[in-house]
Chain A
Amino acid sequence: MSSKMQSSNNIAHARRTVQQLRIEASIERIKVSKASADLMHYCGEHAKYDPLLMGIPASENPFKDKKPCTIL
């Protein structure tokens, strides 16, 4: 690659980098306190439906090996 082509590639890359940073600089941000509160709220609302958190009764556990029962 000629050095002229290489330097124009570098400039093109630098232009793209600046363009991307402009996009990222322009977004709206919410406060970490609000973001954290919302995530906590989500966990709280969904906790009771989370089987790995709440535990799974043996009768509803599709992965538990079912042992044969004998009726005495």
Chain B
Amino acid sequence: MGEMDTLKKEADGLKTQIEAARKAVNDTTMAAVASGVAAAPRVQLKNRKTLKGHLAKIYGLHWSADNRHMVSASQDGKLLIWDTYTGNKVYAVPLKSSWVMSCSMAPSGNLVASGGLDNMCTIVNIKAASPKTLRELDAHEGYLSHSRFLSDTEILTASGDTTCCLWDLETGKQKVIYKSHVGDCMCLAVSPDQNSFISGACDSSAKLWDVRDGGCKQTFIGHTSDINAIAFFPSGTAVITGSDDCTLKMYDLRADQEVNGYQDAALNAGVTSVSLSSSGRLIFAGYDNFNCNIWDSLKAEKVGVLSGHDNRVSCIGVPDDGLGICTGSWDSFLKIWN
């Protein structure tokens, strides 16, 4: 038997072993465990603000850690930084490439990052006298789909080249490369303790990584199409994924498997974005069908809907204080609800 055949046999054996180990701890369903919990109240949120200013599809949004400012990115070639309490635009950052797919803000509020089909992650200092490009992180071999700052000196990126990367912003160089996905990486989320992060990809899997040593610790399967959105449950012990297969799933990290699924036979639109309320009880998911559905994370029931956009909801976010939810859409508007 050649080496390839031996390796294939060993790989198949290990996959069977993993499946058996997961089955061995699968002693109940979350639906059964949560049957005794009181239903979440019917959630009726009102559109409190509509932020107007972008001239084309919005592809990304990210709240500041100050719970008040927010950055949004549009294919009109701009990043806008908003004061969401007043609805005013505080800064406008023109982009070299208008094919932007994501944006993020550093916890300090000093820096914003953006990137897309230019394969680069551009870091801008918005607190300088006029917004100033600090770094152009240029090593990915595919589009930049997502980014999240760990601090003013480190940022994580996810790329269509199937890798994720940790960059040193002081040198502009790659510090750690995370290789294991076999499809474009579409999204990432950082754990509350910042020691790990999860990525979702077009290979239909989500992977948990150690930030520092670059190792993939766990792989979560079950989706049947691209994973477009991913978020940590606030305890850090579970993750929620949203996919083009029109479903969301909750994977528990310690049980190493799917523990809940959120789907509706009537829904045949892909999930584009996901965010959770501060207790983790509510999951907000943006879909291709212009709506955002609100799910009870424990009972897997739909408990509300946010409608008002005239095109796909492409991005969504809840600030750290949990006081509201913002949706961003291809209709060029951002809406804040609570």
Contacts and interface: CB of A to CB of B under 8 A. Distances in A.
B9 to A, nearest CB: 10
Given A23-B217, A32-B27, A46 B279 contact: yes
Interface in A22-67: 22-25, 27, 29-40, 42-47, 49-53, 56, 61-65
Contacts of A25: 14, 17-18, 21
Contacts of B10: 18
A63 B323 contact: yes
Given A46-B278, A53-B41, A24 B252 contact: no
Given A39-B298, A40-B298, A42-B280, A63 B49 contact: yes
Contact of A23 (B17, B21, B216, B298): B216
A70 interface: no
B33 A36 contact: yes
Contact of B68 (A29, A40, A52, A62): A62
A3 interface: no
Contacts of B11: 14, 17-18, 21
Nearest to A50: B279
Given A39-B233, A42-B234, A32 B29 contact: yes
A47 B296 CA distance: 12
A2 interface: no
Interface residues of A, number: 43
B219 A29 contact: no
A46 B11 CA distance: 42
Contact of A11 (B4, B14, B324): B4
A44 to B, nearest CB: 8
B30 A52 contact: no
B14 A49 contact: no
Interface residues of B, number: 64
A43 B7 contact: no
Interface in B3-19: 3-4, 7-8, 10-11, 14-15, 17-18
A40 B25 contact: no
Given A52-B278, A53-B282, A63 B85 contact: yes
A43 B217 contact: no
A50 B14 contact: no
B214 interface: no
B234 A46 contact: yes
A50 B277 contact: yes
Given A52-B322, A53-B282, A63-B48, A33 B28 contact: yes
B314 interface: no
Contact of A21 (B15, B34, B45, B257): B15
Contacts of B278: 46, 49-52
Interface of B: 3-4, 7-8, 10-11, 14-15, 17-18, 21-22, 24-30, 33-34, 37, 40-41, 43, 45, 48-49, 68, 84-85, 180, 215-219, 233-235, 237-238, 252, 254-257, 259, 277-282, 297-298, 318, 321-325, 336, 338
Interface of A: 7, 10-11, 14-15, 17-18, 20-25, 27, 29-40, 42-47, 49-53, 56, 61-65
Given A20-B216, A63-B338, 10 more contacts: A17-B11, A21-B18, A24-B218, A25-B14, A39-B238, A42-B233, A43-B280, A46-B281, A52-B277, A53-B282
28 contacts: A11-B3, A17-B11, A18-B14, A20-B216, A21-B18, A25-B18, A29-B254, A31-B28, A32-B28, A35-B237, A35-B252, A35-B255, A36-B252, A38-B237, A39-B237, A43-B279, A43-B281, A49-B278, A49-B322, A51-B322, A52-B43, A52-B278, A52-B325, A53-B279, A56-B323, A62-B85, A65-B48, A65-B49
